[in-house]
Amino acid sequence: MVGEKKGVEVDLLFNDDKFLFFLTRYMQKPLSVTALNEQIKSLLESTFLHVYIEGEVSRVTYHNSGHLYFTLKDKNSTISCVMFRGNNAKLKFRLEEGMSVLINASLAVYTPRCSYQLN
């Protein structure tokens, strides 16, 4: 259903007049994609400054830049990770596929794609 009130176009996945009222009252000016991604970045990066996370390493890539890219996973989810050259140089072992690890990291959002990863 597409509704229109006060010049604001709303694309709804369900018919709920209270939801439509909320959207038209509080979202008078639509956000650009960039503005939304910047707000998401600000919220996530300020909320997850330091996380302590455990998981299994997969998709390990040692890049010629010195950076280390990998995925951390558990039974139901995955998250992309990067260890930049400076920290990678201090690592006392080689990260391998299938290792169980505990990681101290921060969450970072790449705004152009609104993708997030652990750094």
For 59, residues 6+ apart whose C-beta sits below 8 A from its C-beta are: 69, 70, 71, 97
Contact 60, 72 (CB under 8 A): no
Q: What is the pLDDT of residue 4?
A: 46
Digit-coded pLDDT (tens) for 33-44: 999 999 999 999
Angle at 5 between CA 8 and CA 36, to 5 degrees: 25
Percent of the chain scored above 90 by pLDDT?
66
Can you tell me the distance from the alpha carbon of 109 to that of 89, in angstroms, rounded to the nearest whole number? 23
CATH among 3.40.640.10, 1.10.260.40, 3.40.47.10, 2.40.50.140 for 51-118: 2.40.50.140
- Could you tell me where in the chain the CATH 2.40.50.140 domains are found? 51-118
Task: Give pLDDT, residue 52.
Answer: 96
pTM for this prediction: 0.70
Token digits for 34?
């960039």
Encode pLDDT of 5-17 as tens digits.
445 454 545 555 5
pLDDT for residue 23 is more than 80: no
Task: Please give the pLDDT value at position 27.
Answer: 59
